[in-house]
Structure 1
Amino acid sequence: MLVALTGTLLLFKVELLQWSYPQLRLNQLPTEQTAAQVFDRYTKGYAYMPRAANPWLEVVTPTGARHYYNANGERILERPYLSDFVGIMVEFHHHLLLNDLGKKLLGYIGIVGLILLITGIIRWWPRRWTQRIFTIRWVWPWQRGFAGTLFQLHKVAGSVLFIPVFIGMLTGTAIMYAAAVSAGLTALAPERNPQPLTAQQWQQVAAAHNWQQRFDRAHQLMPEHQVQLVSLSNLSLRMTFPGEWHPNGRSHVQFDAQTGAVTSVYDLRYDSLGYQLSQMIFPVHVAAVGGLPWLIVVLFGGLALIILPLSGIYFWCWRQYKKRCRL
């Protein structure tokens, strides 16, 4: 339930940050030239490039602190690790505040949740479809019959919103087992095409010794792509191609720290269909695609995932209490 609650709230992470920190309400996006100047100050960590939704440059240090920069390259905010409610929500939703152990637990919780969801819809499935199936007789908590209201709410929410709840839980669980899911989908559709640039071609590109040069070389090698996520430690740039679902991109260009030479160029579009499908799971889960309609679907799915365990646990406890009273 808390995972669903934090996940639902994080659909509005940008709005929550801008509400908490008014200095993030920026009108002008930092340019790549500004980003390059900022990145030259760092040797470790990673950074998110500005976008229309979040118009700032965000650098994440190895300690987990987040530094925000405006269009002039000025640091306007520093958020230490777990220093505010948004940071705590993110870490709880991803790892239950337990690092790798939390990720394992989330995987187990996801599997159990999927089993409960599927068995629940099977048990609910009616022999005859009538309007009464989707009716809730509302009674307030302080009135008699509230347990019946919760039971009806549980059934209606689980049936009407089954598809968004199922997709949310399935994609969330798949993210916890990303490597296995990716390997499985790749095995189902393994055919891939050769990368458009050979090692001999990209090794002939001039060396890059600062971030402006790295940006230039990346655009030279992959002119259709846009830089989204930068590794300041590994000197790599993750890029999106037009129409890609993943907000951070999966294509990349990487450089050698000593020589500045290009060491790797990868275009996701030429990889296997199975692997490409595996990279669509995350954007579906976080509503990074589909616009407002899919955001609304994911939002209702998240709300249902809050209602279902609450109503289910309450009704179960109520039944146990009634059984004891009869003894």
Structure 2
Amino acid sequence: MGKKSIKNKKKKKKRSYFYRFSAWLHLWLGLISGIVVVIVSLTATILVFERELKLLFEPYQTVEVPENKEFLLPSVLSERVKEKYDFSSIWGVYYRGKDKSVEVPYYADRTNYQVVYVNPYNGEILHNRYLNSDFWRFVLEGHYNFWLPRNIGKPLVAYSTLIFVITLLTGLVLWWPKKWNKATKKASFEIKWKAKFKRLNYDLHNVLGFYTLFVALIFGLTGMVYGMNWFRDASYWAASGGEEFTRESLVSDTTAIAKYAKKDEDILFRNVVSKVDPNHNKINVKYPYGKNGVWSIGINPSFQSRWQTTTIHYEQNSLKIIKAEPTLSKANGGDQLMRLNYDLHVGAIGGIWTKIIAFLVCLVATSLPITGFIIWWKKGNKWKGLKFPLP
């Protein structure tokens, strides 16, 4: 036997062991995380079109636009809400465009979170959403915490997502044909819809898994940013070129004297609407929390995504600008990544079309643990695959 033949044989053995190890890892990790991945992916599928479904089925989300009438000032809307529900304070006033109701959130504590919807033209209270008994909140809690206490559910979902990312990569190894020819290409890229259940189930797992791999990886990695601080810090460090991730705590000067007799929120709101059209921009007025809290004004020309939001923070009494967050193009790589992360995670980065893609990918991700489990269960000697593949 020649040297070349021996060398090729060794390469085949190494590839064979790598393949078997990837298959073992894929199977074990899939069985361990399967239920969590199904729930997280299914809830993600439901949440993709949350905004659109709310607008469709909740009449208090929209309002009629009267002619030649401007929005009421935030102080007027907040007072209406406080009087109606006897709130001591509110969190903010969120304007969402000309034909949408205004959201006025109220946080008493983690167990009492409400959002009041108000007509911005006449101040009429339209609805009070109690988030603790809200369907969308229930779905979000399943997606984020698996309906468990946060200190248990959050890491469970986060590390199950990490396992899912690894199974996607090992799945690519298993999908990759040993030889590229007409038959293997057809088997790898096409689903035999008329085949028997066993083959059809295999194709649904193998082929759809490949087509959705890249987007599913984005969803998994962006989810890990929210679920694991060490991964968020590492991602920020890599994207920023070595800078550390920090949450800056902004505070007001408690000794500053108020400069204006009018309502501060109205002054800030008027200042914003003198520069941008409130009919075609989201404008969030966030109130200070505590004596040293700050005012925050967020402006976003998009009603679909968050990454275009620019936020300016003001000192509580003097209304002096404490910090103006830079636009995305002027932020460092780490800050850009953090600002894009939410829209990448929910599929809103490119509007309705990327949301449709996100919906389909989440649907496939929901099915992958199920079709994978069926493949393993239908095998004649299914328990053999669980044994560690020694070289």
Alignment of 1:135 with 2:181, yes or no, is: no
**Deviation larger for 170-179 or 242-251:** 242-251
Deviation at 1:159, TM superposition (A): 0.7
Deviation at 1:154, TM superposition (A): 0.1
CA distance 1:212–1:248, change in 2 (3 Å): farther
Alignment of 1:212 with 2:249, yes or no, is: no
RMSD: 3.7
Alignment of 1:1-327 (within 5 A): 1-28=38-65, 33-40=72-79, 41=82, 43-51=89-97, 55-62=100-107, 63-71=112-120, 72-97=122-147, 98-126=149-177, 127-128=179-180, 129-138=184-193, 145-177=196-228, 179-181=232-234, 183-185=236-238, 187-188=240-241, 206-207=259-260, 209-217=263-271, 228-232=283-287, 233=289, 234-240=293-299, 246=306, 249-256=309-316, 259-262=317-320, 264-269=322-327, 270-319=330-379
Amino acid at match of 1:108: Y
Deviation at 1:227, TM superposition (A): 5.6
Amino acid at match of 1:309: P
Asked whether the equivalents of residues 23 and 76 of structure 1 are also in contact (C-alpha less than 8 Å), the reply is yes
SS in 1 for 2:143: helix
Aligned mates of 1:154, 1:101 — CA distance in 2: 30
TM-score of the pair, normalised by structure 1:
0.78
Identity of aligned residues (%): 21
Deviation at 1:8, TM superposition (A): 1.6
Residue deviations 1:202-254 (CA, integer Å, cap 9, x gap): x999557432123235568x879966433333453242466896258252223
CA distance 1:215–1:306, change in 2 (3 Å): same
Structure 2 runs not aligned, ≥5 long: 1-37, 244-251, 385-391
CA distance 1:271–1:59, change in 2 (3 Å): same
CA distance 1:278–1:87, change in 2 (3 Å): closer
**Deviation larger for 180-189 or 54-63:** 180-189
SS in 2 for 1:280: helix
Amino acid at match of 2:241: L
Asked whether the equivalents of residues 39 and 211 of structure 1 are also in contact (C-alpha less than 8 Å), the reply is no
CA distance 1:112–1:96, change in 2 (3 Å): same
Aligned mates of 1:88, 1:117 — CA distance in 2: 28
Aligned mates of 1:305, 1:238 — CA distance in 2: 37
SS in 1 for 2:354: helix
Amino acid at match of 1:110: T
Q: Displaced runs of 4+ in structure 1, greater than 4 A?
A: 29-32, 203-208, 217-220, 222-227, 241-245, 320-324
Residue deviations 1:169-217 (CA, integer Å, cap 9, x gap): 2222223246525642454175xxxxxxxx9xxx999557432123235
Aligned mates of 2:151, 2:282 — CA distance in 1: 29
Larger radius of gyration: 2
CA distance 1:47–1:151, change in 2 (3 Å): farther
Equivalent pairs counted in the alignment come to 306
Deviation at 1:309, TM superposition (A): 1.5
Amino acid at match of 2:78: F
Structure 1 runs not aligned, ≥5 long: 191-198
